[in-house]
Amino acid sequence: MKKSIKVFAPASVTNVSCGFDIMGYAIDWPGDEVVLKIKDKPGIRITKITGDGGRLPLDPKKNTAGLSLLALADHIGFKQGIEMELHKKMALGSGLGSSAASAVASVFALNEILEKPFTRKELLPFALEGEKLTCGGTPHADNVSACLMGGFIIVRSLDPMDVITINTPANLYSTIIHPHLEINTADTRKILRKQILLSDAVKQWGNVAGLVTGLTTGDYDLIGRSLHDVIIEPIRSILIPGFNDIKSAALEAGALGCSISGSGPSVFAFSKSKATAEKVGEEMKKVLKTIKVKGDLYISKINKKGPMVIG
């Protein structure tokens, strides 16, 4: 058994317009890094956290990475000690699955040290334990699943757990703009309507079916026609300064569609070439500049690898 390991877990885009809480995909960058060291003294200790501005707790029971690691260690009856370093390479509250990446990195790292007794899908329940801290006790599996399994995932059911990975076109690119703002996931869930019109639900179901079909068949036009959210986006978008202008700029630059990543403030767009994705990104940046908000730009294909050992 290895005595130490360093892993990287990627950011993820979820909801994917019409797929609220059930769709997500991993991207190449940014992400989180975790270093695990096996020690003789029992217990789990978080010894160092960087990139969080001093905001995340070292207490493993109050930390998403720590709580996930505790769940896995308790399940297997791990008797040795574990020291963990967490290096945040992505902003908190970005809408890119920051907490999920930390949770995934920790359980993936221990599973690798133990020579992979669990499949990635079997690690999902342990990573979800950490997500409970950021979701008010009721975790949603889209970020964790996309990050852990890689590729484009659909969460068909949480009980029983049923997560499906679907094929996507080889030249599908994602452009993500992350305004330097922070939005709390729990707060954005509180403003959502508890009831929706049947007519809106039917539109949304049609778009979900169309998006899945478009992705699996490589029908870019169908992907574009289906990237419409008539239920969640109209409400959450009011929390993102310049959202409508960002979306319009992306579409005018040739994007297939554009919507909110997770609960925001990040915004994603799909394109069918790298050149278009880069042009879309430049136009998104121009909008942020006009409203005097700084931001980060990421361009990525669908990351089909998920977490990986880097040291």
Q: For residues 162 and 177, state if they share a domain.
A: no
Mean pLDDT of all residues in 83-87: 98
pLDDT tens per residue across span 95-126: 999 999 999 999 999 999 999 999 999 999 99
Answer whether residue 137 shows pLDDT above 70: no
Q: Is 83 helix (H, G, I), strand (E, B) or coil?
A: strand
Whether 285 contacts 253, CB under 8 Å = no
Output the average pLDDT for the chain. Answer: 95
Q: For residues 139 and 191, state if they share a domain.
A: no
Whether 134 contacts 67, CB under 8 Å = no
The CATH number of the domain holding residue 236 is 3.30.70.890
Query: What are the Cα distances from residue 102, in Å, to 85, 97, 159, 293?
Result: 11, 9, 23, 27
Q: For residues 38 and 156, state if they share a domain.
A: yes
What is the predicted pLDDT for the residue at 141? 93
Query: What are the Cα distances from residue 272, in Å, to 21, 101, 251?
Result: 25, 27, 12
Q: For residues 154 and 204, state if they share a domain.
A: no
Exposure string over 108-130, b if 16+ CB within 10 A, otherwise e:
bbbbbbeeeebebeebbbbbbbb
Run of H or E including 26: strand 23-39
What is the predicted pLDDT for the residue at 2? 86
- Count of domains forming the chain: 2
What share of the chain in percent tops pLDDT 90?
90
What is the predicted pLDDT for the residue at 191? 78
Q: How far apart are the C-alpha atoms of 85 and 97, rounded to whole Å?
A: 19
Domain boundary, last residue among 100, 133, 166: 166
Kindly state whether residue 311 falls inside one of the protein's structural domains: no
What are the structure tokens assigned to 26, written together?
């991993």
Domain boundary, last residue among 166, 196, 217: 166
Domain of residue 197, residue span = 173-301
